[in-house]
Chain A
């Protein structure tokens, strides 16, 4: 049996979509506004997603796995920075905890897992073939759904960042856009 590695990368995109949706549930459902470091971690997950999309759309290449790995290391560095900010025993940490870990700790675990899985998958030499670019409309349905979902989430997250921060520095007090309409009314 031969594995379709474009589909394997598409499964990775599904995992990225699940991570992004869970962050959005906490933000929109529980009213927890993300801090700047949290947004940078979300962007790093999207960076991993773009690397996976490259494999799905442009064919499996080592440089695409290198992009995924770079984004995972970068994301792990950002989340480690946030863990170190809250490392003192009396510090309650930022935002809610899920299963005893805060979101930035989970992000660090996920980035390390992504890096290890990426290294393990890229070691399989049979997947590299010069099949080239396959447009989204010619992809299987599963790939179409995962690529479109991650793209839509990227667009939606960008709009949410605009609503939260405007074109200024980000903060976690309130949505900039609500304050803007309140003051101009």
Chain B
């Protein structure tokens, strides 16, 4: 999962270099959702919510 977030941020970086603004923001948003999602998953396991 962490590897996936790294891949998504790296894709965002390369899109950023092309100057395509909309795909870059979409890619950044997806990467951040996975990033935050993994942290929330970690917290949910600790709090025994398990989602």
Chain A positions near chain B (C-beta within 8 angstroms): 36-37, 39-40, 43-44, 46-47, 50, 53-54, 57-58, 67, 70-71, 74, 77-78, 81, 133, 135-136, 151, 154-155, 157-158, 161-162, 165-167, 169-170
Contact = CB atoms under 8 A, between A and B. Distances in A.
Contacts of A155: 10
Contact of B3 (A37, A71, A77, A162): A162
B2 A154 contact: no
Interface of B: 1-3, 5-7, 9-10, 12-13, 16-17, 19, 21, 28, 31-32, 35-36, 38-39, 42-43
A133 B42 CA distance: 37
A81 B16 CA distance: 31
Nearest to A162: B3
Contacts, number: 73
A94 B28 CA distance: 30
Contact of A47 (B16, B35, B43): B35
Contacts of B39: 40, 74, 77-78, 81
B6 A47 contact: no
A74 B35 contact: yes
B2 A170 contact: yes
Nearest to B31: A47
Contact of A43 (B6, B28, B42, B43): B6
The 4 A-B pairs with the shortest beta carbon distances in the complex, nearest first, are A158-B6, A133-B19, A39-B2, A151-B13
B3 A165 contact: yes
B16 A50 contact: yes
